[in-house]
Each structure stands twice: as C-alpha cells, then as structure tokens.
Chains A and B, each alone.
Chain A
Amino acid sequence: MKTKAMVIVAFMAGVLAISLPMFAHHGAAAYDMSKPIVLKDAVITEFLWINPHPLIKADYKDEKGNVQHWTMEMGSTPASQLIGWTRTSLKPGDVVTLYVWQAKTGLTVGRFNKVVLADGKTMRDTQTGADNGGRADTGVGRSR
C-alpha cells in the first residue's frame, strides 16, 4: 500500500520535474546513475565556485586505508544558488559524507548527488540531487 502511494508521489514529482526549465550545460550521460557512491567521512580539500560548474574536491579513505582523491561537479552557480548554495557552503577541512554518481570511466570523478554535513544538514545537487538521481530543485524555476 505504502509502496503504491510512493510510486504515485514519485510519478507526480517526475511530472513536475519535467516541467522545469533546465539549467544544465550538459546531461549526465557520462555518469553511472544507477547507484551513488558513498564517501563517508570524506574531507573537503577544495570547493571551487566556478563556471560552467562548481567543483567539489575531497579526499576519502577507503576500507583498506588508501586515500582516494575525488572531484565532482554540481549544477551551475546560478542554479545552485536557487536552492541555498553559496561559494562558502563547503570549506577545506570539512568532514562530510558525499554521495556521487561516478563516471563510467571508473575514475574518481563524478556528478555530485548530495552531501551530509557535520551538523547533519543535507544539501543536494540541483539536477541529480534526488535519491533516484532526479532533480532536487522542484519548485524553483517552475513555469508559471
């Protein structure tokens, strides 16, 4: 019963999302959108508030203790600002959990999904920030 209700909600959210104008400069074809990689206790090394897309750089220590250097892109700065991002939202040294749609090349780059900050607050990507990879900026930029 709950599942069916959630399917309906997801469908209607999808309808809304399709009606939104797009901000992206390109699609997500290069990324594996089936399941985000979770980088728990990643340390932000740089947050570049640049065009065409801001970049989040972070170090993540895997289960074997090896440090992986990750880079991920977000929605454009104007689109990200609409859902609360600023150029100071992340700072070097912040310890966070990052969710990222990894590139199909297998390199440690990807499309940002969401971040859980140290205080528990979650911030998402505009375009691929929903847990299913869909848009997370519903209600912003909607056609009148």
Chain B
Amino acid sequence: MRNLLAGVIVSVAAVLALSSAAIAQTGESQSNQTSKAKSPWKYYPMDRAVGPGGPAPKRDLSGTWAGPGSGAAVPRGTNAQDPTAPPMTPLGQRLFDMHKPIGKYSPAGTNDPHTRYCDPFGFPQNMTDEIRGITITTLADRTFILIQYMNIWREIWTDGRALPTDVESGKDGLDPRYNGYSVGHWEDDYTFVVDTTGLDPNTWATKNGYPHTINAHVQERFHRDSKNDMTLTMTMDDPKLYTKQFFLGEQHFRWIPNQMFDEFNCIPSQVQEYLKEMGDPAGYDLHAAPQRR
C-alpha cells in the first residue's frame, strides 16, 4: 500500500514539476497549443510570456496585457476580487446593506445593476472585476486604458491639470461620470500614478457591493516590474462612507506575446434571455456555503 501511495504522490509531484519546469523555461513565450496554424487575429491564452523577459522599459506601460481573468495563468492578486472594506460610517453601512451582490444572492436575487441589466461597472470596479485584458496607450498629453471587457476606454490626463475638487456639489460645473475624471503622473521611471474622482454614484465600487460617493478619490499605482510584468495597486479614500482608506487590491498583469485579446461583452438582450431561461428559475439559496465570485 505504501508503495502505491508513494507512487501516486511521486506521479503527481512529477506532473507538477514538469509543468513548472515548462513554465520556467527561457524564451519569449510558451505555447501549449496544438500544431494547428494560428491566426494573427486570435488570442491564445496558452501562449504566455515566460519569465521577466528583460528589464522594465522606463516610463512605458504601452502594450496589451493579460489580467487575472485572462486564462493566461496570471497570478490572482490580493484583495481584488472580494475586497474587505475598512469600518464603514453609518451612511456607508446603510448603502452597503442595500446592495445584494451576486456572490451571495446568485443571478436571481442580486440587485447588481451590471448583472441584471449590463449597466456599466463604472470605475473603480471596471479595474478589479472581469479583468481579462487591457491595452495601455499614450498620447503626448493623455494615457488611455482600453479595457477588453465591455470595450471601455479610460482617459487619463497627463498635462499637469488638477483634478476637479468637488464634483458632488456641482461647484465645478461637472457631472459625475462612469469612469470619473483622471490625472496621471510618473512618480519614478517605473511607477505611473493615476488619481480619479467624480464617480457615478449609481455604480458599486466593488463586485461584493461596497459603495462609493461621487467625491471618492481612487489612486492607482501601476508599477512596471519587468518587460513582461506589471502590478497595479488601488486604494480609495471616501470619508463619507469609510473611516479609513479602502485597499481595493493588488492585481498582476502579464505581457501578451501576440498582443491580441478576444471580445467579451455583456449584451443586454442576452442577459435578459439568460435570466429568463436560467438565472431566475434557478433561484438562490442564502444558506448555501459562501461562493467565490
């Protein structure tokens, strides 16, 4: 029996070792695809950048990156999918209690406006939820983040302008936006810092239902770790709702060798069909064990 058990353990360990070794091999990319000819128009999640790929270029995030939902073996990050909020104010708690996130209520019971109607996530949720692929590109006065899920782009001004100070009051003459108003600067040669405010108050800050106000201040720090690696950390200051700074998580991104990703959208008519045929009849069970995502 011992021999058999040992054999099993050795076999599984060997499989793990082989897969690790394969991943650790040097070279630009690793492919587990079949020998079928590949289309230059298609994203191949098993074609993965291997290793750091060289030093990080200075002041450059440009390119197309695989996120944690890409299927490209990108590490999952910290706190990003189901973040834990700091203690909330009474107003924050009241708003939070009104939200019924999908993780607990399933599609049938949630009141998440994205799940039920494909309403935009809005920022910051669109940088933490369904992060499959992003492209970053730069003009002289702006940096754009193009988000694969829902074909969204964010505009980050780098011309030195100041952020609006109080969109909520209307004093700035500005309306809140799904992606808010963003400015960015290089803190050092490898760290690009983006500050955002003026967020649409109908959106949720996180998938698990934490709220934000219009005047919430979100800071993103994009760090280019190497040619193939980028790390994003996000925090939110929203003193009307939270008693301390909210750590929204850390996420990792990996360079996509062929710079392609596939389309993936929430289509309202498809969601209505899904809910009618499947999601609503399936119901929900609040007493079930907690579900991830």
Q: Which A residues are closer than 8 A to B by beta carbons?
A: 1-2, 4-5, 8-9, 12, 16, 21-31, 48, 50-53, 55, 57, 71-73, 76-79, 82, 103-105, 107, 109-111, 139-144
| B132 interface hit (Cβ, 8 Å) | yes
| B38 interface hit (Cβ, 8 Å) | no
Considering only residues 239-259 of chain B, those with a C-beta below 8 Å from chain A are 254
State whether A110 and B282 are in contact (beta carbons under 8 Å apart), knowing that A1-B4, A27-B103 are contacts in the complex. Answer: yes
Known contacts A27-B103, A110-B282; can you find 4 more A-B pairs with CB under 8 A?
A2-B4, A50-B273, A51-B264, A107-B281
- What does the 1/0 interface line of B13-32 toward A look like (CB < 8 Å)? 00010010001000000000
Q: B30 CB to closest chain A CB, in angstroms?
A: 9
Residues from chain B with a CB closer than 8 A to the CB of A73 are 274, 278-279, 282
| B12 interface hit (Cβ, 8 Å) | yes
Q: B153 CB to closest chain A CB, in angstroms?
A: 20
Interface centre among B8, B23, B81, B108 (most CB of A within 10 A): B8
Considering only residues 41-59 of chain B, those with a C-beta below 8 Å from chain A are 45-46, 48
Query: Measured between alpha carbons, how far is A142 from B277 in the docked complex, in Å?
Result: 32
Query: Measured between alpha carbons, how far is A6 from B291 in the docked complex, in Å?
Result: 26
Residues from chain B with a CB closer than 8 A to the CB of A105 are 281-283
| B289 interface hit (Cβ, 8 Å) | yes
Q: Which B residues are closer than 8 A to A by beta carbons?
A: 1, 4-5, 8-9, 12, 16, 19, 23, 45-46, 48, 68-76, 81, 102-104, 106-108, 115, 132, 254, 262, 264-267, 270-271, 273-274, 277-279, 281-285, 288-289, 291-293
By Cβ-Cβ distance, the 8 closest A-B pairs, closest first, are: A27-B291, A29-B288, A50-B270, A103-B282, A30-B282, A105-B283, A141-B71, A1-B1
B285 to A104, Cβ gap below 8 A? Answer: yes
Q: A23 CB to closest chain B CB, in angstroms?
A: 6
A79 to B71, Cβ gap below 8 A? Answer: yes
State whether A144 and B274 are in contact (beta carbons under 8 Å apart), knowing that A27-B292, A82-B71 are contacts in the complex. Answer: no
B45 to A82, Cβ gap below 8 A? Answer: yes
A21 to B69, Cβ gap below 8 A? Answer: yes
Residues from chain A with a CB closer than 8 A to the CB of B103 are 26-27
A29 to B291, Cβ gap below 8 A? Answer: yes
Query: Measured between alpha carbons, how far is A2 from B7 in the docked complex, in Å?
Result: 12
State whether A5 and B293 are in contact (beta carbons under 8 Å apart), knowing that A25-B115, A26-B103, A105-B281 are contacts in the complex. Answer: no
Which of these, B73, B81, B271, B291, contacts A26 with CB under 8 Å? B291
B69 to A23, Cβ gap below 8 A? Answer: yes
